[in-house]
Structure 1
């Protein structure tokens, strides 16, 4: 994002207080908690013309679909009771979707960024955004709003045999939101669990003591279907590449043979060999 270091570029600003539950085992704000903190200002952002249209019966019925998000921790930070400032705007506007762009600032420093893509749909599929909503979105557009949309994942990512490793996860009742499905933030938690399990399998019990070292600092997730409670799911795991410091994971969320979501993650490499296996 071209807004780095420029909180004034955001048309909307909110202050959010960090909670004890936002902290990872190393005492810093976790990447999954970042997604939760970024959600709050998005929910509060108002589209006055569109809301009036809906209230007057001029648009609908429709569903709001959260189809993708990217969240990245730029710096280690966090403390219980600390206040962060979150700027929010609209990064891109399409025919049937729009994407939020956000930046999180602690003590004036940009510490995290996020994008989130929304689609309005009915039973027949995505709906064209009405003119009044387009006008609302334009007023909140960020300076870099001409940025290209993120590329869609390779179709092979939806196939279970793309992933050489799997990790089982189970939906919990606390993961269910007002829409009666497993919340998209909880699904990031599924991916965290899978990566931690994978690291333990490769590195042994020592990985448990060093757990924060292997948890991702960046996620880019696509949501393809409903994840429900109760339910048992599998996370497919593949190492998509690595460098000296970082492992790039490719992840897929499966209900049997059906792919309900994919994600790309970047995590500290630890002691993995080039083959993605423990040394020796």
Structure 2
């Protein structure tokens, strides 16, 4: 369970765990991010942490910067409209992801065991024998980004397949083709390759799917998840076709077959359970 609230100019996060040892693993989570993530990556900074054990349960507390700017998508991880982000915002995001990629990652967030299952299940091809990794955020969606840019929720950061972060953000932008196209343009060096090299093109936009929260009833009904044996899934799988809120059908970029949320079939490792907002963001 996690509880959090504003505490003056700070954001206080308190959580419980079944771990009986109080110390958190080094180099991971919020504490690890404060020590290892470069200063030029905009995020709530950690001002203090405390871990303890009482009655067989572990507890922890973190005191972070309070971020006064609201998240770009407060109720869902994906976009349903163009937020009108500035050129400065896009440049800052690009620099932040590039800088983060050069940081020392201590934990492999997306493990080989998941890759070995996801490639044949969602792409119909064998998993690569070797996966190039770089340090990344691990949960980069629109509910964890603010404008001006702050990147929130650093629980899952670590070593990821190259292109995983922009791929996940891209998948969570497909309702707004203009934004999806901008992400592909900004991160073309990891998401696109020439057609002659398509066999080696980045698979992560096709394997990633929106976070589990995106399958809640807050999604428009025409965008609800469909089981893989339904006619709706058959239409979505080849090129990800969906109806826009204005009633017009749009064909999103075709690099994402079998990528959308399917009830009971997760292509993306579920985040740790959370009982409240613990990212240092403004209250909604």
TM range (shorter): under 0.3
With a CA cutoff of 8 Å and minimum separation of 6, indicate the structure with the bigger relative contact order.
2
Alignment TM-score, normalising by the size of structure 2: 0.25
Structure with the higher strand share, 1 or 2: 1
Alignment TM-score, normalising by the size of structure 1: 0.25
